[in-house]
Structure 1
Amino acid sequence: MIIVTGGAGFIGSNIVKGLNERGRDDILVVDNLTNMVKFKNIQGLKVMDYMDKIDFGEAVLDGAFDHEKIDVIFHEGACSDTMEYNGKYMMENNFEYTKNLFHFAADRKIQFMYASSASTYGSGKHGFTEKPECEEALNVYAFSKLFMDNYIRRYLDGLESQVVGLRYFNVYGPQENHKGKMASMAFQMYNQFRKEGRVKLFEGYDGYGPGEQTRDFVYVKDVVKVNFFFWDHPELKGIYNCGTGHAHPFNTVAKAVLKHFGAPVDKLEYVPFPEVLKGKYQSYTQADETALLSVGYDGGFTGIEEAVEEYCQVLDKTGGYYTRQDSL
């Protein structure tokens, strides 16, 4: 059996799709369907069972899974809202829950991959390398992720089984509809153009020109590839960046979306930078891939123009979801 927490979410459901493509459907999806629209992410996929997140967490602590044959846990379930200010809620979801699953997996020598975040690098002024001197949380979301990474670091040398934390940079692609305001800029721009016939970006801020704030945009298919690389190499453990190693301005994504619609560049507009984001905004991210490449990852990353076009085609066809035919 394979367990995918957050399996009805964005990255989790893409991992389930990837597992299906590998011929695996003995998958327990763990999630919280309070946001019921997430059911659309798994209705086109093959899974064995579904379990509510709270029920699953309690069952793990109660020993209900102690004798189950579990190959690997992909732990993608977390609160991903960077604007959530309830620290107690954030730590319960992103630290305590992950900590319990980590110990469960380590005690039973189950491979354990979990979602960390590039937000652990704060403003990025110290770089984007997996080292404490580069790390700085600017909000409680980033703090919860960094706290977990540091907790894991205390155990790495003594572990007999695999644990890998992947610091996701700006992930985009199919199955993120439910994320609303936290969905990728590619998703936001596509839908904004459909609705308004134009795309909007922020004006200049923090020394960057209009729309020139940059991100390491990574296609969700590539995120799945990185997860599976570590699954295929159980001898590896640690904290690794999951990004392309290239920074692209938001303008590049906007122009790729406009190109998909056959729209001119003058359909791109700039709006004032929000006061609420000042001092809490990463104007630049770019993964240092040294650690990832040094352990042998050679799967590459999809070019941004190619990936945005492919994603827009999925949005055209199904509104951004995988159908069963697409999945198998």
Structure 2
Amino acid sequence: MQETSERRPLGRTLLKATALGLGTTAIGGLYSATSDAAAFETMEAAWDLGIRLFDTAPQYGNGMAEQRLGAFLKTKPRDSYVLCTKVGRLLRLPQEPQGEDAYYKGTPPERPVFDFSYDGVMTSVEESLRRLGLDSIDVLHIHDPDAHYAQAMDGAYKALDKLRSEGQISAVGAGMNQSEMLVEFARDGVFDCFLLAGRYTLLEQGALDELLPLCVDKQISIIIGGVYNSGLLANPGAGAKFNYQEADKALIDRALELERVCLRHDVPLKAAAIQFPTLHPAVASVLSGARSRDEIVENNALLRHPIPAAMWDDLRSFGLISPQAPTA
């Protein structure tokens, strides 16, 4: 069981992240439009629960998530929260009219354009600050540079390292849906934290092989996203998603077996899913991508749900979690 407001350091920085953070894809309109009123109600509920880590990006809602989050945080003391956003995408109007965004609904007309260059990143930071309406950002992540590693290191990393050295930001990170490239970043640069989405969960623990031990050794903190693996660990069954795609039968069967073991111990699968990553010493926080007040309140309760050690033992003995996964 974790306390939402429990603070853990982010790398070697002076920043401290709460055990539960708020991700802003949903309030940016991921999959369905969200009103300003619902977005602000969600953020206020998160604040009331003690959440002080907020993660956003230009891509989320094509700028709308940053705008909404910034408007909310302007009402709060600046030294009381940690703000993370990302670089690697510039928002630009398409030369020709485009249809509705495939992922984000009810958003501004701009669309993200990849740019991991030094100048592009400096421009991205200036534009994010304008959208946020704030004077500073705490953490800047290089955002999903999967096919752009060289430019990300030669351009984006050098820009962020300069901003850190000048005290304009406190932490340099990278946010990805894979662990392999984060290993490369950890070896080739000086990073404070990583946002790892979907790759260290109750369902998938490949990050244990290299990334997480390396991060412990180098004092790089991990922020975990995607604890429910696109919904499969929230509601396993036919039609469930995994990695934003239809989950195959083998994955659904594994999720259902995880749920059966959890329920034998009176633990909801979602409670096990949200708490499991927090037990690794490299992990500073998990993000809740809540769309509503009810969702963030539920995730807070799940993070605090008592889980007996015997449940973790059973999951390990049945081969459902890695023998190397910390569970205490």
Normalising by the smaller structure, the TM-score range is: 0.3 to 0.5
TM-score by length of 2: 0.35
TM-score (norm 1): 0.35
